[in-house]
Amino acid sequence: MSAAAADPAPPPAPTDSLAGPPQPPATAGAIGRRVVWLMVLRTVLISLVLGLTIWLGSLDEAAASAPAQLFLTGIVVVTYASTLVYALLLRGGADPERLIWPQLAGDLAITTALVYVTGGAQSAYTFFFALSVVGAGALRLRRGAIVVGAASVALMLAVGLAAWGQLLPLPTIPRVEPWQATIADLARQLGLNVGALVGVTVLAYIFGRELQETSASLASQRQVAADLYALNRDIVRSLTSGLITVDLEGRILALNQAAAEMLATAPAQVTGRDVDALLPGLAARLAALAPEGTMRRSDLTLAASGGRGPRVLGISVSPLRDPRDHVIGRVVNFQDLTELRTLEETMRRAERLATVGQLAAGIAHELRNPLASISGSVELLARTPAVADDDRALMAIVVREIERLDQLIRDLLEYASPRPRTLVHVDVAALLAEVVQVMRQDRATAEVELRTELPDAPLVLTADPGQLRQVVWNLCRNAAEAAAAGPAGPGTVTVRARGDAIGVTIEVEDDGPGIASEHLPRVFDPFFTTKKRGTGLGLATSHAIVTEPGGTVDVRSEPGRGTRFVIRLPRAGARPPPPPP
Higher pLDDT, 414 or 351: 351
Which of 130-144 are b and which e, b meaning 16 or more Cβ less than 10 Å from the residue's Cβ? bbbbbbbbbbbbbeb
Find the range with the poorest average confidence among 4-18, 282-296, 444-458.
4-18
324-336, pLDDT tens digit by residue?
888 888 899 888 8
Would the pLDDT of 497 be above 80? Answer: yes
Residue type, 365: H
Would the pLDDT of 27 be above 70? Answer: no
- For residue 544, the tally of other CB atoms under 10 A from its CB is 24
User: What is the CATH architecture of 424-570?
Assistant: 2-Layer Sandwich (3.30)
Phi–psi pair at 506, nearest 5 degrees: -120, 135
Taking CA atoms, 331 is separated from 170, 296, 347, in Å, by 78, 12, 33
3-class state of residue 311 by DSSP: strand
Q: Over range 461-470, report the average pLDDT.
A: 86
Q: Domain spans of the chain?
A: 14-229, 240-336, 349-416, 424-570
Q: What was the pLDDT predicted at 574? A: 45
Phi–psi pair at 281, nearest 5 degrees: 95, -15
Superfamily covering domain 240-336? PAS domain (3.30.450.20)
Q: Can you list the alpha helix ranges (DSSP code H) found in 60-99?
A: 66-91
Closest CA to 198 of 133, 124, 109, 144: 133
Higher pLDDT, 486 or 335: 335
Q: Which range, 261-270, 418-427, 490-499, is most confident?
A: 490-499
215-232, pLDDT tens digit by residue?
677 778 888 888 887 887
CA distance 109 to 106: 5
CA distance 553 to 537: 15
Contact status, residue 320 vs residue 327, Cβ threshold 8 Å? yes
- The conformation of residue 395, written as its DSSP 8-state character, comes to H
Q: What was the pLDDT predicted at 441? A: 79
Helix/strand/coil (H, E, C) string of 465-506?
A: HHHHHHHHHHHHHHHHHHHHCCCCCCCEEEEEEEECCCEEEE
Q: Show Cβ contacts of residue 288 under 8 Å, excluding neighbours closer than 6 positions.
A: none
- Return the axis-axis angle of helices 100-117 and 127-165, rounded to nearest 10°: 50
Contact status, residue 579 vs residue 339, Cβ threshold 8 Å? yes
Per the document, the length of the chain is 581
CA distance 446 to 308: 35
CA distance 414 to 275: 52
Would the pLDDT of 7 be above 70? Answer: no
Would the pLDDT of 191 be above 80? Answer: no
Q: CB burial class (10 A; 0-12, 13-18, 19+) of residue 13?
A: middle
- The conformation of residue 89, written as its DSSP 8-state character, comes to H
Q: What was the pLDDT predicted at 179? A: 63
Mean pLDDT of the chain: 75
Q: Over range 323-352, report the average pLDDT.
A: 82
- Return the axis-axis angle of helices 100-117 and 28-59, rounded to nearest 10°: 10
CA distance 148 to 201: 8
Q: Over range 352-357, report the average pLDDT.
A: 68
Torsion of CA 206, 210, 212, 214, to 10 degrees: -170
Find the range with the poorest average confidence among 53-67, 265-279, 300-314, 376-390.
53-67
User: What is the CATH architecture of 349-416?
Assistant: Orthogonal Bundle (1.10)
DSSP string, 399-463: HHHHHHHHHHHHHHHHHHSPPPP--EEEEHHHHHHHHHHHHHT-GGGTTSEEEEE--SS--EEEE
Would the pLDDT of 10 be above 60? Answer: no
- Is the torsion defined by CA of 342, 347, 351, 353 positive or negative? positive
CA distance 250 to 247: 5
Q: Over range 450-464, report the average pLDDT.
A: 88
Find the range with the poorest average confidence among 283-297, 480-494, 518-532.
518-532
Q: Over range 423-452, report the average pLDDT.
A: 85
- Return the axis-axis angle of helices 465-484 and 538-547, rounded to nearest 10°: 140
Would the pLDDT of 59 be above 70? Answer: no
CA distance 292 to 315: 16
Q: What was the pLDDT predicted at 19? A: 34
Find the range with the poorest average confidence among 156-170, 342-356, 487-501.
342-356
Q: Show Cβ contacts of residue 361 under 8 Å, excluding neighbours closer than 6 positions.
A: 412, 413, 416, 417
Closest CA to 131 of 111, 160, 161: 111
Q: What was the pLDDT predicted at 370? A: 77
3-class state of residue 121 by DSSP: helix
Share above pLDDT 90 across residues of the chain, in percent, rounded to a whole number:
3
- pLDDT bin (cut points 50, 70, 90) of residue 207 is low
Q: What was the pLDDT predicted at 495? A: 92
CA distance 98 to 92: 13
531-564, pLDDT tens digit by residue?
766 666 778 778 888 888 888 888 888 888 889 9
* pTM score, whole prediction: 0.43
Would the pLDDT of 377 be above 60? Answer: yes
CA distance 81 to 45: 15
Q: What was the pLDDT predicted at 1? A: 44
